[in-house]
Chains A and B, each alone.
Chain A
Amino acid sequence: MQIVLAGNPNAGKTTLFNALTGSRLKTGNFHGVTTTSFTKNVKGVSFTDSPGLYSFEAYTMEEGEAAKSIRSADSIINVVDALTLENSLRLTSKLIALNRNTVVYLTKTKALAARGGHVDAAALEKFLGVPVYDCPPAQFKKLVLSGSALHPVTREDMPFAEVYCGGNYKIRMVERPFYSKIYAPLIFVAVMLLTFFLTFYPAMPGALLKDWLEGLICDRLAQYLSSRMTNAAFASFFCEGVLGGVGGVLSFAPQLALLWLALILLDESGAMSALCFVTDGLFERVNLSGRAAFSLISGLGCTAAAITTTRGFAKNSSRLRTIAVLPYVPCGAKLPVFLTFLSPLFADPFPAVCLLYFSGIALALIISLIQHGDGEGLITEITPITLPSFNAVKNKLCFQLTSFIIKVTTIVATFCMAGWLLSHLNFRLQFCGVEEGILSHICRALLPLFAPMGVNDWRLCYAFITGFAAKENVAATISMLMGSCTLPLPAAAACCVFILTCPACISAFASSCREIGLPRTLLYNAAQLLFAFALAYATHFIFTLL
């Protein structure tokens, strides 16, 4: 049996899907987080999570995909947001007309009660003529899997007021600053500056935890293991190669966690949704809409994930332009690389890193302005501002940290191992010094490309190349092959600019291919690479003059 979860955007479909199937799909307090359908089988029942839609007219690509999934369903679970029930029922009536095997699952009933409203599930059941459930997801799962969720219901005519009272839905005083065109941007900038301060400023938690973790993994653990290993070559391979590289990147976990926490709080509180509305005027001037704010801010976490959010654009030209500029927004993986270059030069890298982050966003906006294209309209629902749920924030943060650790201990570790082997083996596959290794010869041949940036160390050249697979590899490779990287200011600035503007990683490449096809993705990446080199050369030249 195929069951599709359908409902308005931000109703809670993905949250329910995760509870029904044990999945960990991305959720958020924003209209348009889910952009593709996803199916999973549980005990012979196939559940499909679909993007939110208001009607079957396919105003956006994601709505078209949702409509297709819904039409092919055997049964429908209509997830309905109790806070906007009256509006949600427009879709419910269409779903019931399409497929009589529809049940309604109510969400956010506690939030409705908190604002003085209530919904009578039993009365709503008679009002609609289909089963209505207001119960915890685990209980609902048992009903669905046992086949007893669907049962006949006799429809009765009754006033809607007997079924539902919306409570106090007006904007509260505490919400007003988030919708103010003066205070909302200031709140966002203040939150980001506070986050950067706690993350990078010396003697702040982020920097302290990073130093402690690096000492633990790269010094104490490496020394302990090295003293216990009898084979010197293997000790060098594991302690210098793997631990040195992987440990160097893992030590950034506390700082990345602070950055992710800020983004999760912005999202879960509804502040992201409000910011999209308030900044719409800014995006209008670059021929986009406030919808792009969601994609750009998502890019601060991960470029690949941000690319998938562009499905919510109504116009294809806006989608293409946003995908083209997303790599300029510094993702979380670039943070360790910036700090690797800046920390040896600045006792306090906080202002420099802030400058890089805001420059990246500014560059994305400027390039969007330069690109030719029509403007994008804006008609979107905005989420109310609420206190984020502790469990939702905790679960998301833990999931991101776990994914980071898995990525670093698998992909990054593999690159570190490959890098160590290629740097310690010559073309006759004999162990040798690093300067005679295969890697040294290959990278020296490519060094002229990086020389105008002030890079004259082949190991740094290799680090940049590994960055195209995953940006964390750059910091890991430098940590493994060089220990640390102290460059003069012009070269460090040029390297940071190169990392800021070069094409994103292989995950983003794959995501872009899925959205806009391989030829266009290759074109965008080639243009970005040329621009990155040009800008890095110019940065080195300007800083040398200063």
Chain B
Amino acid sequence: MSVFGLKVGQCGRITAVKARGGVAARLSALGIVCGAEVTALAFSLFNSSILLGVGYTRVAVRRAVAQCIEVEVCK
């Protein structure tokens, strides 16, 4: 499922990042790469974007981009 499907407080391990070009490079620069663990921290108004905890960094990502990031929920 995509990272946007995580509930607040839920953790997931990234299995695929289906973005291209500048978006992919920016995600990679922020630590959002295959194998990384992310935690869903909060959702914005109207659920337009998600705040992810990636290592020591907090990254806000819009829904359309978040739906390109596939995760499997950590047990």
By a beta-carbon cutoff of 8 Å, the part of chain A in contact with chain B is 54-55, 57-59, 83-87, 90-91, 166, 169-171, 179-181, 185, 276-282, 284-285, 289-290, 314, 377-384
**Given known contacts A54-B30, A87-B31, A380-B59, is B51 in contact with A179 (CB within 8 Å)?**
yes
- A379 touching B45 by the CB < 8 A rule? no
**Given known contacts A87-B30, A280-B49, is B55 in contact with A181 (CB within 8 Å)?**
no
- Chain A residues with Cβ under 8 A from B65's Cβ? 377-379
- A83 touching B56 by the CB < 8 A rule? yes
By a beta-carbon cutoff of 8 Å, the part of chain B in contact with chain A is 22-23, 25-31, 41-49, 51, 53-62, 64-65
- B44 touching A84 by the CB < 8 A rule? no
Q: How many A-B residue pairs have CB under 8 A?
A: 117
- Chain B residues with Cβ under 8 A from A314's Cβ? 22
- Kindly provide the distance from the CB of B7 to the nearest chain A CB, expressed in whole angstroms: 15
Report Cα–Cα, A378/B49, bound state, in Å: 8
**Given known contacts A87-B57, A179-B51, A290-B60, is B45 in contact with A279 (CB within 8 Å)?**
yes
**Given known contacts A55-B29, A90-B29, A170-B53, is B48 in contact with A284 (CB within 8 Å)?**
yes
- A277 touching B42 by the CB < 8 A rule? yes
Given pairs A57-B22, A378-B49, 13 additional interface contacts (CB within 8 A): A54-B30, A55-B26, A169-B53, A170-B53, A171-B53, A277-B42, A280-B48, A280-B60, A281-B45, A281-B46, A281-B47, A284-B48, A382-B58
Residue in B42, B43, B44, B58 whose beta carbon sits within 8 Å of that of A381 in the complex: B58
**Given known contacts A87-B31, A179-B41, A281-B49, is B56 in contact with A379 (CB within 8 Å)?**
no
- Which partner residue on chain A sits nearest B62 by CB separation? A378
- Chain A residues with Cβ under 8 A from B43's Cβ? 181
- A277 touching B44 by the CB < 8 A rule? yes
- B61 touching A171 by the CB < 8 A rule? no
Report Cα–Cα, A54/B30, bound state, in Å: 8
25 sample A-B contacts, Cβ–Cβ < 8 Å, listed by A number: A55-B29, A84-B55, A86-B31, A86-B56, A87-B55, A166-B55, A166-B56, A185-B45, A277-B51, A278-B44, A279-B45, A281-B47, A281-B48, A284-B62, A377-B62, A377-B65, A378-B48, A378-B49, A378-B61, A379-B27, A379-B59, A379-B60, A381-B30, A381-B60, A382-B51
- Chain A residues with Cβ under 8 A from B46's Cβ? 281-282, 284-285
- Kindly provide the distance from the CB of B56 to the nearest chain A CB, expressed in whole angstroms: 5
Give me the 9 closest cross-chain CB pairs, A-B, nearest first. Answer: A281-B46, A281-B45, A54-B29, A281-B48, A179-B42, A378-B62, A277-B60, A57-B25, A284-B48
- Kindly provide the distance from the CB of A311 to the nearest chain B CB, expressed in whole angstroms: 16
Report Cα–Cα, A377/B21, bound state, in Å: 14
Report Cα–Cα, A179/B8, bound state, in Å: 11
Report Cα–Cα, A399/B54, bound state, in Å: 36
- Kindly provide the distance from the CB of B37 to the nearest chain A CB, expressed in whole angstroms: 13
Report Cα–Cα, A179/B9, bound state, in Å: 13
Report Cα–Cα, A277/B59, bound state, in Å: 9
- Chain B residues with Cβ under 8 A from A290's Cβ? 44, 49, 60
- Chain A residues with Cβ under 8 A from B60's Cβ? 276-277, 280, 290, 378-382
**Given known contacts A87-B30, A185-B45, A382-B51, is B64 in contact with A377 (CB within 8 Å)?**
yes
- B22 touching A59 by the CB < 8 A rule? yes
- Chain B residues with Cβ under 8 A from A282's Cβ? 45-46
- Kindly provide the distance from the CB of B5 to the nearest chain A CB, expressed in whole angstroms: 18
- Chain B residues with Cβ under 8 A from A285's Cβ? 46
- Kindly provide the distance from the CB of A443 to the nearest chain B CB, expressed in whole angstroms: 47
Report Cα–Cα, A290/B49, bound state, in Å: 9
- Kindly provide the distance from the CB of A295 to the nearest chain B CB, expressed in whole angstroms: 16
- Kindly provide the distance from the CB of A373 to the nearest chain B CB, expressed in whole angstroms: 16
Report Cα–Cα, A54/B46, bound state, in Å: 29
Report Cα–Cα, A169/B52, bound state, in Å: 12
- Chain A residues with Cβ under 8 A from B25's Cβ? 55, 57, 59
Residue in A91, A171, A281, A382 whose beta carbon sits within 8 Å of that of B59 in the complex: A382
Residue in A91, A281, A284, A384 whose beta carbon sits within 8 Å of that of B58 in the complex: A384
- Which partner residue on chain A sits nearest B22 by CB separation? A59
- Chain A residues with Cβ under 8 A from B48's Cβ? 280-281, 284, 378
- Kindly provide the distance from the CB of A204 to the nearest chain B CB, expressed in whole angstroms: 31
- Chain B residues with Cβ under 8 A from A170's Cβ? 53
**Given known contacts A86-B31, A87-B30, A377-B64, is B55 in contact with A278 (CB within 8 Å)?**
no
- Kindly provide the distance from the CB of A289 to the nearest chain B CB, expressed in whole angstroms: 7
- Chain B residues with Cβ under 8 A from A380's Cβ? 59-60
Report Cα–Cα, A85/B56, bound state, in Å: 8
Report Cα–Cα, A179/B30, bound state, in Å: 20
Residue of A55, A83, A280, A314 with most partner-chain B CB within 10 A: A280
- A377 touching B23 by the CB < 8 A rule? yes
Report Cα–Cα, A57/B30, bound state, in Å: 13
- Kindly provide the distance from the CB of A293 to the nearest chain B CB, expressed in whole angstroms: 11
- Chain B residues with Cβ under 8 A from A85's Cβ? 56
- Kindly provide the distance from the CB of A325 to the nearest chain B CB, expressed in whole angstroms: 19
- Which partner residue on chain B sits nearest A112 by CB separation? B56
- Which partner residue on chain B sits nearest A277 by CB separation? B60
- Chain A residues with Cβ under 8 A from B42's Cβ? 171, 179-181, 277-278
**Given known contacts A85-B56, A86-B31, A281-B49, is B44 in contact with A379 (CB within 8 Å)?**
no
- B44 touching A281 by the CB < 8 A rule? yes
- A59 touching B26 by the CB < 8 A rule? yes
- B22 touching A381 by the CB < 8 A rule? no
